[in-house]
Amino acid sequence: MDMVRLVLAWVLVWLAGAAIVRRIYALSTADAAPHAAWRAGTGFFAGAFVLALLMSALSRVGIPFGGLSIGAPLVVLCVALLWPDAQALRQARIPSPRMATKAVWSVARIAWYVLLAWLALRFVLLLGEVMRQPLFPWDAWTQWATKARVWFELRHMAPFVRGEQWLQDSGGAYFDAAPHYPATVPLWQVWSSVALGRWDDAWMNLPWWLVAVALALALYGFLRDHSMSPLFALTATWLVVSMPILDAHVALAGYADLPLACYLTTGALAGWRALRTGSRADGLVAVLLLATLPLIKIPGWVWIATLVPGLIVARMPRLGLRIVYIGWLGAIVLALVLGRFEPVIFGYRLHFQLDIPWHGLAEAYFSFDNWHLLFWVLPVVLLATRRQLVSRDIAPLTVVLGSGALFLLVGFSITSASVWVEDQSTVNRATLHLAPLLATWLVLLVHRALGTAAPAASPQPLVATTPAMAHADGVDA
């Protein structure tokens, strides 16, 4: 019964988010509806964000956390957003079995079903790990779950302060290893515990598994909308979500890095869709998802900043690249200048000495089994598709990833994080933030190189009303 309550609690969150995304796309009647998998995947991320906002609001007004106090507003939200669609749902026709199974024995369809079963089995195994693995040590139980445990027991969000401040005068405050970290991830764990009716440091981590499933759905829908065949899109999705370090963050749930990576990936892709098609709905979804980044982890502010070059290039195709190149050079110079004064930014101290830990980076990206062959394939794809990298269609994503890579390189070379690269304690977690988006970008480049991509749409302002790309019907329709 506990498991049923937990599942229903998160189904409600997912349904609320899906209703929000559905309503956003329904309001933009000039745009073709995106693939259902995209709407379902981004729907979870929207719902999880709204859940955190709702719980923060309840705590501020003094309403204790509980199944009714949190669940009732979510139910009301679902009803309010889905009610206009009630009549359409009642009139919806169920496809006949003959049409649904037509051509089911084609080679491509059989391969699609086999790969889908493989992916589903992998997620089932990961779910078993999540539900049986107690909270894993280090950051998961010193920086995140500490807040969740306190807030669950108190039924409201108590403040967390640094140790020295707590020793002087606690004033009802608590402390842990990172009292300044955002509240979104711990609030997810609180909601799971409220649904269970007890503290369970394994079952409360169900959201990490849901995050991975939602990412797979969103990626598949995005790739299908990009005119990829069902088999190609599912293969690419499998390649992204099967990265060992990503699956490790699902199985050993409790860190904020995987949620941050998923929100960054889906938000950036939604923004890219908006720039290519002029879809207002995609623009709103992008803003909704990207606004969550700093509420998951403080570096989310920097990741938002790395998206600005993509917007510049999309709006000024000819001049934008030059502006971005100058901006990158200026960012490096600024980091080196600031390093002379050794300021602390986002908890990391800059120092002037440029010391890139090449050995640790090489081990992380090329020797260990964290990324499959992602970084081995990267230079090959870049060499083969070098003419596409700065094409008008792909250039916005290219400069976003270039900005992200520059951020990681600066962080690994002239901040205190450099000492954590050699011992492999930070490099993979930090790279995970960008890796799903990087892998998706490589898939787009390969697809274009194969000559099967749809013609590139000219970037349009976010307020444009040009129709969005419609996805082709296929086995997953």
* 40, pLDDT greater than 80: yes
244 in any annotated domain: yes
Out of 178-182, 233-237, 354-358, 438-442, which region has the weakest mean confidence (pLDDT)? 354-358
286 in any annotated domain: no
457 in any annotated domain: no
pLDDT at position 351 is: 66
- The CA-atom distances, in angstroms, between 202 and each of 131, 192, 244 are 5, 10, 20
304 in any annotated domain: no
pLDDT at position 167 is: 82
Does residue 239 sit in the same domain as residue 329?
no
User: What is the length of the chain?
Assistant: 477
* 189, pLDDT greater than 50: yes
Does residue 219 sit in the same domain as residue 118?
yes
Tokens at 57, concatenated: 């609001």
Per residue in 239-252, pLDDT tens?
Answer: 999 999 999 999 99
Does residue 209 sit in the same domain as residue 316?
no
pTM summary value: 0.89
Rounded to the nearest 5 degrees, what angle is found at the Cα of 20, between the Cα atoms of 397 and 68? 130
Does residue 129 sit in the same domain as residue 215?
yes
Q: Name which of 358, 363, 383, 477 is nearest 428 in CA terms.
A: 363
Q: Which helix (H) or strand (E) holds 349?
A: strand 348-349
274 in any annotated domain: no
Q: How does residue 348 score in pLDDT terms, banded at 50, 70 and 90?
A: low
Dihedral of CA atoms 393, 34, 52, 147 in degrees, nearest 10, equals -60
**What distance, in Å, lies between the first and last C-alpha atoms of the chain?**
34
Residue matched to tokens 């559905």: 22
Q: How does residue 55 score in pLDDT terms, banded at 50, 70 and 90?
A: very high
pLDDT at position 354 is: 65
Does residue 76 sit in the same domain as residue 176?
yes
Between 268 and 476, whose confidence is greater?
268
Does residue 254 sit in the same domain as residue 323?
no
Residue 130 CA to residue 416 CA, distance in Å, equals: 32
Average pLDDT, rounded, for the chain: 86
Tokens at 85, concatenated: 């669609």
Q: Which domain holds residue 76?
A: 2-83+105-260
Q: Name which of 266, 293, 287, 226 is nearest 39 in CA terms.
A: 266
Does residue 241 sit in the same domain as residue 109?
yes
Q: In three state form, how does the secondary structure of 357-402 look?
A: CHHHHHHHHHHCCCCCCHHHHHHHHHHHCCCCCCCCCCHHHHHHHH
Q: How does residue 93 score in pLDDT terms, banded at 50, 70 and 90?
A: low
DSSP letters along 203-224, please? GGGHHHHHHHHHHHHHHHHHHH
Does residue 354 sit in the same domain as residue 238?
no
Q: Cα 5 to the chain's mean position, in Å?
A: 26
290 in any annotated domain: no
Q: Contact, 274 vs 283, CB < 8 A?
A: yes
pLDDT at position 236 is: 95
Does residue 247 sit in the same domain as residue 155?
yes
pLDDT at position 29 is: 64
Residue type, 192: S
347 in any annotated domain: yes
CA atoms within 13 A on the CB side of 288: 23
Residue type, 432: L
- The CA-atom distances, in angstroms, between 44 and each of 116, 170, 174, 282 are 20, 37, 31, 16
Residue 259 CA to residue 250 CA, distance in Å, equals: 10
Q: Name which of 207, 144, 169, 159 is nearest 59 in CA terms.
A: 159
Residue matched to tokens 């010391």: 355
Tokens at 388, concatenated: 């596409």
Q: Name which of 46, 89, 50 is nearest 70 in CA terms.
A: 50
CA atoms within 13 A on the CB side of 378: 19
280 in any annotated domain: no
Per residue in 100-133, pLDDT tens?
Answer: 445 556 888 999 999 999 999 999 999 999 999 8
Helix (H, G, I), strand (E, B) or coil at 459: coil
Does residue 238 sit in the same domain as residue 330?
no
Domain count, the chain: 2
Strand segments, DSSP code E, in 171-214 are none
CB atoms within 10 A of CB 139: 18
